[in-house]
Amino acid sequence: METRKLGTGGLEVSALGFGCMGLSFGYGPAVDRDHGIEVIRKAVDLGVTFFDTAEVYGPYTNEELVGEALAPVRDRVVIATKFGFSYKDGKQEPGVLNSRPERIREMVEASLKRLRTDRIDLLYQHRVDPNVPIEEVAGAVKDLIRAGKVRHFGLSEAGVKTLRRAHAVQPVAALQSEYSLFWREPEEQILPALEELGIGFVPFSPLGKGYLTGKIDASTTFETGDFRNTVPRFSAENRQANQALVELLGRVAERKRATPGQIALAWLLNRKPWIVPIPGTTKVHRLEENVGGAAVELSARDLEEIVAAAASIVVRGERYSEAAQKMIDR
């Protein structure tokens, strides 16, 4: 797989990364440990070098899984993790953020142990904490970079003003936020700012939380514990209303002898050379399909068709619950 650079500090990763969250958290019950290790190591075999986790996924268990799976190939891969939530008695406090410098330092020490490594390649602030100036956050990460415990600094779901303020203290290598044909808001302000500042973009949910694969429709039911049960965009009514987008991808996919999901990923990869999507899955055959998306070639005509058709489609439903929306920095 080809590689891409995130930021200007020399961070080079595979064009597609792997979002590890769903193996332990968010989409129903966690997978069996051995199966999770199998999926992660299969991704390595397929050329993926960029793996994304966070202390909150589980919490903690996803970092442990990623650390065990990647230990044999640690020097060949890039591991990203995240801080930013508050915990009490080992459990996340719902909706409570904590990015105080002392908390960041504690988290890094604990994450290093769970990840079985001596450095975190890319450390993100998971959500912007309104109670801690971003300059203090960036300064804390800068100190960790100087100490050799962190290599690069990232932000997640941060707005342009926050990005600029953080970047002035410690260069930001990457912003991780949702971006796909299912959610195109970053095109308005985020992408121009990233290009100006030389910051890479790591879209999570590049397949619209599975919707753009064409395997989800109005009759689909989600398991208990699957957060899509709380997402307005995934109500049965909205899933039905948004089928036009999947049909568009299906038409292009048929012509290109690909799948709708592969077209969705190829479209993202064509947007900018510094965009690195991180699709996740719990299934080896879906992993193979996603990686295949990096090899799909879209012509200028294909891209024009997708953009023109998508512009006439109004996507229905908010992408987060009301509580989760409150934690998005604008």
CA–CA separation, 74 and 68 (whole Å): 10
Cβ proximity of 68 and 37 under 8 Å: yes
Distance of CA 183 to the CA centre of its chain: 13
Pick the catalytic residue: 27, 57, 60, 124? 57
Q: Report how far residue 19's alpha carbon sits from residue 209's, in angstroms, rounded to the nearest whole number.
A: 11
CB 313 within 8 A of CB 244: yes
Closest CA to 162 of 134, 186, 203: 134
Tell me phi and psi for residue 267, to 5 degrees.
-60, -45
Question: How many whole angstroms separate alpha carbon 139 and alpha carbon 13?
Answer: 25
Question: What are the angstrom distances between the C-alpha of 222 and each of 8, 84, 226, 317, 329?
Answer: 41, 28, 6, 17, 28
d(CA 167, CA 182): 28
57 belongs to the catalytic site: yes
Phi, psi of 155 (to 5 degrees): -125, 155
Determine the residue type at 50. Answer: F
Q: CA 9: distance to chain centroid?
A: 20
Distance between CA atoms of residues 82 and 84, nearest Å? 7
What is each CA distance from 229 to 239, 261, 319, in whole angstroms?
Answer: 12, 21, 12
The number of residues in the chain equals 330
List, by residue number, the catalytic residues.
Answer: 57
